[in-house]
Structures are given as C-alpha cells and as structure tokens.
Amino acid sequence: MSEAPILIDAVKAGDIAQVKNMLEAQPHLLQEAKGINGESLILLSVYHRQPDITQVLLAKSPDITIHEAAATGQLATVEKHLQEDQTAVNALSADGFTPLGLACFFNQPELAKLLIENGADVNAPSQNGLRVSPIHSAVAARNTELVKFLVDHGADINATQAGGYTALHAAAQNGDEELIKYLLEHMADINAMTESGKTPMELAIASGHDAAKWFSL
C-alpha cells in the first residue's frame, strides 16, 4: 500500500521532519503523492499555509509547473514556461486554477502583472466549484493595488463566484475599507445579492463592521 496519504497528511500538518524523512526514503513520492483533486505536494503545502514545507519541496523539485511557480512567486520559472509555451499562461492546474488566479490569491503581484502582460485572461474563473476569478483572489489577498491593476486591464468588477459573491461582498465581509472605497468608486454594484440574498452592506454588518460609514450614499 502506498504511503502517499501519510506524506500528504504530513505536508498539510507542517510536519517537516516526517516530510523530509519520507522523501529521503521514498523520493518517488514527491511526484506520486497527489491531493484528492490532483494537487501536487507543493500546491498542497501552499494551500495549507506551510511555507517551511514548501521550501523543502521546492528544494527537491528541479522542475516545477507554471502553477506551482505562480503560487510560490518563482518569477524566472514562470518566464521560462511562457517562453517555452505561451499558451501556458491560461492553462488550468489539476484542480482547475489558472496561473493568474493562483498568483493573485497568494499575493504575488509582480508575477500577476507578468502573466497579464503575457496575455492572461483577467476574467477566467476557476474551473471548479469555487468559480473564483482573479479579482476575487486579489480581494481575498487584500491587495488593493493588485485589484486596481486587474480592473485597469479589463477585470469585471461585478463578476460573481460560487454563491453569487462579488468582489465587493468579499471586501465588505473582510472590513477592507480601502478596497470597499475603490470598488464603489469604480461602479461595483452596492445592491448585488448573494444567492442567499445578502448585500455587501449586510455581510459587513453580520461580520461586526461599522458598515454605515462605507455604504451611506
């Protein structure tokens, strides 16, 4: 029986000693171990916010995918992938994310800009149950400048992700005043409703924020 599930659990838990020991004894697991949606160990470590594990895995991986590079901020590696295959700019990862979506979510602004300058689709939603577009990912990262860059390059400010959430819904829920102000100034729909019937202001209030100062027009 494969020990891949044990390694995956160690990666998620941040058990650096076990990860090192298992890869030392069974280096083939680095490529063989995948998450339930086909995610690589590197991406799993990033998803579970285990930076020390990520560095261990990167050190043992001479060749990483454009998605792994986008999520971990490996600018030169992304450039190399694009030089070899320009269509990689909008390629989907095994779990349905574009390089731009990953770069935005994991707050890699310079890498996101490189991808956009090389033709990344700023409105491409993830092809999975989340249906997140890059603007949603940038709002989740709470990076106002990156959101501005996306909008300046054609991102739909009122795009919806799963559940009917817009960027403004997410910013309101987070209490991100700077982002809320920017989105409203750029025609974000203040009355947009989630599938459960919630407006951005209602989500802000439910999250304990003083929403009146942001949404009183």
- The domain spanning residue 39 has which CATH number? 1.25.40
Residues 76 and 182 occupy one common structural domain: yes
Among 13-17, 46-50, 66-70, 211-215, which is the least confidently predicted range? 211-215
Residues 75 and 35 occupy one common structural domain: no
Residues 71 and 101 occupy one common structural domain: yes
- The rounded distance, in Å, linking the Cα atoms of 44 and 29 is 14
Domain boundary among 62, 81, 105: 62
Residues 34 and 78 occupy one common structural domain: no
Is residue 137 very low, low, confident or very high in pLDDT (cuts 50, 70, 90)?
Answer: very high
- The rounded distance, in Å, linking the Cα atoms of 114 and 14 is 31
Domain boundary among 38, 62, 86: 62
Over residues 44-56, mean pLDDT: 98
Residues 47 and 145 occupy one common structural domain: no
Rg (CA), the chain: 19
Number of independent structural domains in the chain? 2
For residue 172, pLDDT beyond 90: yes
Residue 20 belongs to domain spanning: 1-62
Is residue 1 very low, low, confident or very high in pLDDT (cuts 50, 70, 90)?
Answer: low
For residue 148, pLDDT beyond 80: yes
Residues 108 and 152 occupy one common structural domain: yes
Closest CA to 131 of 100, 91, 159: 159
Confidence (pLDDT) at 210? 83
Is residue 215 very low, low, confident or very high in pLDDT (cuts 50, 70, 90)?
Answer: confident
